[in-house]
Structure 1
Amino acid sequence: MTKLSVNVNKIATLRNSRGGNVPNLLTVAQDIERFGAEGITVHPRPDERHIRYQDTRDLAKRVTTEFNVEGNPNPKFIALVLETKPTQVTLVPDAVDAITSNAGWDTVQHADFLTKVIATFKSAGIRTSIFVDPVISMVEGAKATGADRIELYTESYAKEYTMSKEKAIAPFVSAAHRANELGIGINAGHDLSLENIQYFKANIPGLLEVSIGHALICESLYLGLENVVQMYLNKLK
């Protein structure tokens, strides 16, 4: 079964919009685990507009499933990951002013940099993943850096799914087959939802983990958080 890691950035955004500590991020994360999710994901950004660096420290002490920390590996981020020692670090090349992640790494152009960063994290016993577009050369480049896994950037799949799901999934299937040949693990995330997750899971061989935040929280407004977590788990079986 593919693991579900829930990104709790949106919970932090809601808290920050009013000040104070409602909703309580730590309590929500623990509830999500209690509801059956196998992981918690956070993506702290330099401006701390949603997840704060202290949130990452606090969650590292409370999360009992897998803890995944995403971000652009600038010096402050690297120091945070080495301090908190999550189960997994996912390297994402987002710009400082990016609203959300909008591209995968060019693992060929940035090979030297990624190789050094990954070696640093792996020496600390932290599983490493690189956020990549579904392009075979980028998958091969990720393998060459020493990364344990890739995370396939699935925005294009989500956008094209309602027009032609077969066309939408095709590059991801090719990328997944190449990853399997190379022996690098496969994660996926970005705009996956209850509508499109089951077809993605059914067609991506070796899919180990999906990280879902925005859609899951939005769906929970209507359906309830516990119910939605269970719905995702059922679709990932």
Structure 2
Amino acid sequence: MRSQLLLGVNIDHVATLRQARYRTMLGAHNVEPSILQAALEAEAAGAQSITIHLRADRRHIVDEDVYLLRKKIGTKMNLEMGNTPEILAIALEVKPDFVCMVPENREEVTTEGGLDVVGQKELLRASVSQLEANGTRVSMFIDPDLDQIRASAEIGASMVELHTGTFANEQGKKRTQEAARLKAAAELGHSLGLQINAGHGLTVANLPELFIVPHLAELNIGHSIVARSVFVGMRQAIAEFRAVMDTYTRP
């Protein structure tokens, strides 16, 4: 069955570029690039959601971005966040359409690996319950591990986002093996009633090899789109992804 694979565009690294110069002067009139303009360009190109990660160290997205985008974008907001009281309180106030719970390590360059839902079930269950009751659907960003899939369903999450970083970083036989792990995880998650999303390290070059994974609903892609947009612009970069994504066939 052919149905559109949705695209969430992560614009964190537009903010990374902004913060390289304007971290301490975000109120200045000449601050660029505009995080809002990036979101609107992504929407105009067909993004179904805008993804931002409000990290504890505020290294790229800052609180003002979250509130501004919630007011101004026309599509859905996906807020990535660590399970901390401070960020949870912001999420409950802002009421994003989606929250994706992710692990955070202050020393990492970007998110490395999936969240340990199995080891944090009760803490995560409490946050998921608050967010879902507040009108926000919650996803767990997890490695394609069957125990993590089961735990995500047990704590009441609506979705999982399968971490595709290992798949993206490998080649040949190892990539094929990781794709098989992703396939098994997607099949189990779907059987448990979870929406299956995926993201991390995806490019137009490696996407076709991911498409053995069934039941994919949405891909969240950031770095590759922002990197490509330096040369061709946001709309063209997204169009190139969409051309590949539109070949995906669900079982």
| TM-score band, normalised by shorter chain | over 0.9
Conservation of the 8 A alpha-carbon contact between 2:168 and 2:206: yes
Matched, 1:49 2:59: yes
2: distance between equivalents of 1:187 and 1:63? Answer: 21
Q: Encode CA deviations 1:124-146: one digit per residue, 9 max, x unaligned.
A: 01000001100111101110000
Counterpart secondary structure, 1:109: helix
Which of 108, 131, 154 aligns to 1:121? It is 131
Conservation of the 8 A alpha-carbon contact between 1:6 and 1:212: yes
How far residue 162 of structure 1 moved from its aligned partner, in angstroms, is 5.1
Matches within 5 A, 1:5-20: 5-19=8-22, 20=30
Give the letter aligned to residue 238 of structure 2.
V
TM-score relative to the length of structure 1: 0.95
How far residue 161 of structure 1 moved from its aligned partner, in angstroms, is 3.6
Matched, 1:191 2:194: no
Matched, 1:105 2:118: no
Which of 83, 92, 96 aligns to 1:82? It is 92
Matches within 5 A, 1:1-237: 1-19=4-22, 20-161=30-171, 164-200=174-210, 202-237=211-246
Unaligned runs of 5+ in 2: 23-29, 247-251
Counterpart secondary structure, 1:203: coil
Aligned to 2:26: none
1: distance between equivalents of 2:227 and 2:66? Answer: 22
| Percent of residue pairs bearing the same amino acid type | 32
Give the letter aligned to residue 141 of structure 1.
A
TM-score relative to the length of structure 2: 0.90
2: distance between equivalents of 1:187 and 1:161? Answer: 22
2: distance between equivalents of 1:12 and 1:39? Answer: 17
Unaligned runs of 5+ in 1: none
1: distance between equivalents of 2:95 and 2:187? Answer: 30
Counterpart secondary structure, 2:19: helix
Conservation of the 8 A alpha-carbon contact between 1:161 and 1:168: no
Counterpart secondary structure, 2:118: coil
Give the letter aligned to residue 29 of structure 1.
A
Count of matched residue pairs:
236
Conservation of the 8 A alpha-carbon contact between 2:15 and 2:60: yes
How far residue 203 of structure 1 moved from its aligned partner, in angstroms, is 1.4
2: distance between equivalents of 1:193 and 1:211? Answer: 11
How far residue 221 of structure 1 moved from its aligned partner, in angstroms, is 2.2
Q: Which runs of 4+ in 1 moved over 3 A?
A: 161-165
Aligned Cα RMSD in Å? 1.3
Conservation of the 8 A alpha-carbon contact between 1:90 and 1:128: yes
